[in-house]
Amino acid sequence: MRRDLWVGALGSILFSASFGLLAYLAFGWVQGHRPLYEDLYGPVVFVATPILHGMAIGVLTQLWAPQPWRVTAKATWISVGVLLVLVLVTAMEGIVCVLMATPLVLPLMFAGTWLGWRARQGSRWAGTSLPTVGVLALTIGGGSILPSPGANGEVTTTWWVGAPPQRVWPSVLSIETLPEPDWWLFRLGVAYPVRTRTEPDGRRMCLLSTGAMPEIVTAREEGRRLEFRVLSTPPSMRELNPFGEVHAPHLARAFRSHTGGFLLKPERGGTRIVARSAYSLRMGPAWYWKLWSDAIVRHVHGRVIAEIEKRAMRPEGEDGMPAASLRKH
């Protein structure tokens, strides 16, 4: 049983690596010989490969004889642990990306393990497993020549600040320094704004923790509206990896900011701020990765508007100004 356990855990890794390499060699000429999976952060990496890898675990663990489910499940956990070490040691990915992908990849891998385990338990399940392997193989191989996955997203966040628009507007234009972040993803390396500055000639610069994000103002109404277009987007994060610096292609290419803006509306003696950001995402499944992207953009909005409010509510402002209050709706 111990032999079968390790054959399933380690043999599946060799199988998946070999199959991925063969798929790349077979279709690499079509995609212009780009690095392996450079633009394939979609169903190939996050859906088909985990399921096929799990099926390999279920089959190889029972190569000599059927085994109880607990054996194949244990082999899956061992395989996951070894894969995690390999990914970190080779600096293919960092801790943050692994954490973000785990809720999607791990259940799919166990689903594949269950299919492989059931296939060895009886002939009825073997008949359904073979077509599944064929579909997954075509997905992984064909993914090299399919268009990269893509999706567009837009996040709008509305807040109320207890200061009039004329007090809020200067910080909408420029914030020299933002405080250190407290949200866990920002602290782990996801990009966050450090300072912003809007020039009279329409140029605008948003400095992120990962680099500069130049912008150009497309609409400006003093004290009311500021809209801008993003010219280039720096890497989406600085990955944590104790074994070396990570240069995964998705860090610089998967997420792109396109437009943004602020709308100020006088309301109840204060100002309602509407922040908007539009972006594109080249990762799939889009529904899953947009959950992360939307959450990150909302926290960026909250970080900036919290600083705008703090500056608008400084004691040296108007007499009788109420204590700072920030309400999200």
Domain boundaries, the chain: 2-142, 151-328
Query: Is 274 within 8 Å of 262 (Cβ atoms)?
Result: yes
pLDDT at 284: 78
- Beta-carbon contacts of residue 66 (< 8 Å; ≥ 6 apart): 120, 121
Q: How far, CA to CA in Å, does 243 sit from each of 7, 56, 85, 96?
A: 27, 29, 10, 14
- pLDDT level of residue 324 (50, 70, 90 thresholds): very low
Identify the CATH class of 151-328.
Answer: alpha beta
pLDDT confidence tier of residue 148, bands split at 50, 70 and 90: low
Sorted by sequence, the CB contacts under 8 Å of residue 309 that are 6+ apart come out as 159, 161, 162, 163, 168, 324, 326
Is the distance from CB of 277 to CB of 300 less than 8 angstroms?
A: yes
State how far the Cα of 77 lies from the Cα of 279, in Å rounded to an integer. 36
Using omega within 30 degrees of 0 as the cis cutoff, is the peptide bond preceding 249 cis? no
First and final C-alpha spacing in the chain: 57
pLDDT at residue 317, rounded to an integer: 44
Alpha-helical (H) ranges within the chain are: 2-27, 43, 49-60, 69-89, 95-121, 123-142, 165-173, 184-188, 250-253, 286-312
Instruction: Determine the pLDDT at residue 179.
Output: 93
Contact (CB, 8 A) for 199 and 182 = no
Amino acid at 117: W
Is the pLDDT reported for residue 316 higher than 90?
no
Which residue from 148, 187, 197 is spatially nearest to 304, judged by alpha carbons?
197
Share of the chain above pLDDT 70, in %: 80
Please, what's the b/e burial string for 282-313 (b: 16 or more CB within 10 A of its CB; e: otherwise)?
bbbebebbbebbbebbbbbbbbbbbbbbbbbb
List the beta bridge partners of residue 257: 279
Query: Among 16-30, 42-56, 211-225, 285-299, where is mean pLDDT lowest?
Result: 16-30
By the 10 Å C-beta count (0-12 exposed, 13-18 middle, 19+ buried), 218 is classed as middle
pLDDT, averaged across the chain: 84
- Residue given tokens 């054959």 in the structure block: 7
Please tell me whether residue 199 adopts helix, strand or coil conformation: coil
pLDDT at 329: 42
Read off the pLDDT of each residue in 32-40 and give the average, rounded to a whole number: 50
Distance between CA 65 and CA 47 in Å, rounded? 28
Give pLDDT, residue 123.
57
The pLDDT of residue 43: 74
Angle between helices 69-89 and 49-60 (to 10 degrees): 130
pLDDT classification of 41: cutoffs 50, 70, 90: confident
d(CA 308, CA 318): 16
Q: Which residues have a Cβ under 8 Å from the Cβ of 9 and sit 6 or more positions away? A: 57, 61, 75, 76, 78, 79, 82
Q: Which of 64-78, 138-152, 200-214, 308-322 has the lowest mean pLDDT?
A: 138-152
Taking each helix axis from N to C end, the angle separating 2-27 and 69-89, rounded to the nearest 10 degrees, works out to 50
- Binning the chain into helix, strand and coil, the percentages to the nearest 5 are 50, 20, 30
What backbone phi and psi angles, to 5 degrees, belong to 280? Answer: -125, 150
Coil, strand, or helix at residue 33? coil
* High-pLDDT (> 90) share of the chain, %: 55
Indicate the pLDDT class of residue 287, thresholds 50, 70 and 90. confident
